[in-house]
Amino acid sequence: MAKVDRRIVRTQEAIKKAFLELMSEKNFDSMTIQDISDRANINRATVYLHYLDKFDLLDKIIEEHINNMVNLCESEAEMDWIESTVHCMEYLERNFLFFSTMLASEGAPYFRSRFVQHNIEEFKKDVDITEGKNFGQSEDVVVEFVANAYVGVVEWWLKNGMPYPPEEMAEKVGDLLERIL
């Protein structure tokens, strides 16, 4: 695999940071590439070297975080709900600017939909409708319910400034998940 130039990584990080800061301050539709380049302190053409437009930038940032969540979930396959949820909550906390901005901005419906879809895929692995609590239920209904409830709780936690530390929040969410799944 080719080694990535650190300058490219730094530039892309500056662009993403500027974009997220602007998303938290202004309407996505009124944001321009010039706004992003000014905030990142780079030339406008440099943004276009890395991204087609602001929609491409938004897509790439969302993809990056969804992929990070997928990788996090895959690495936690052998963990119990609480331990796995602690790692997810810590990731959300480390990336507070991204998640709080996406869930509070106009990008929210698109991001929320992607986040729910990611959680549906993860929860499908754990739903059993052949016995136990969910015997006879529709797998689709259970998975939709759990994924949307999880995303809703995450939204609430972030929008309220993370009133509980990640470990405590993970215990609360993990306990609820254990009751449902």
d(CA 135, CA 151): 24
Say which amino acid occupies 142.
V
Residues 6+ apart with CB under 8 A from 138: 129
- As a whole number, the mean pLDDT across the chain is 88
Domain extent at residue 159: 59-180
Same-domain status, 93 and 4: no
Burial 107-126 (b: 16+ CB within 10 A, else e): beeebbebbbebbbebbeee
**CATH number of the domain that residue 16 is part of:** 1.10.10.60
Residue of 109 and 100 predicted with greater confidence: 100
Q: 41 and 10, same structural domain? A: yes
Contact 85, 165 (CB under 8 A): no
CA angle centred on 103, ends 162 and 158, rounded to 5°: 0
Residue 71: give its domain's CATH number.
Answer: 1.10.357.10
Give the integer Cα–Cα distance in Å for 125 and 35: 43
* pLDDT tens digits, 13-53: 999 999 999 988 888 888 999 999 999 999 999 999 999 99
d(C-alpha 79, C-alpha 56), whole Å:
35
What pLDDT, on a 0 to 100 scale, did the predictor assign at position 108?
Answer: 64
Tokens 């979930």 locate to 73
Beta strands in 9-74 (DSSP E): none
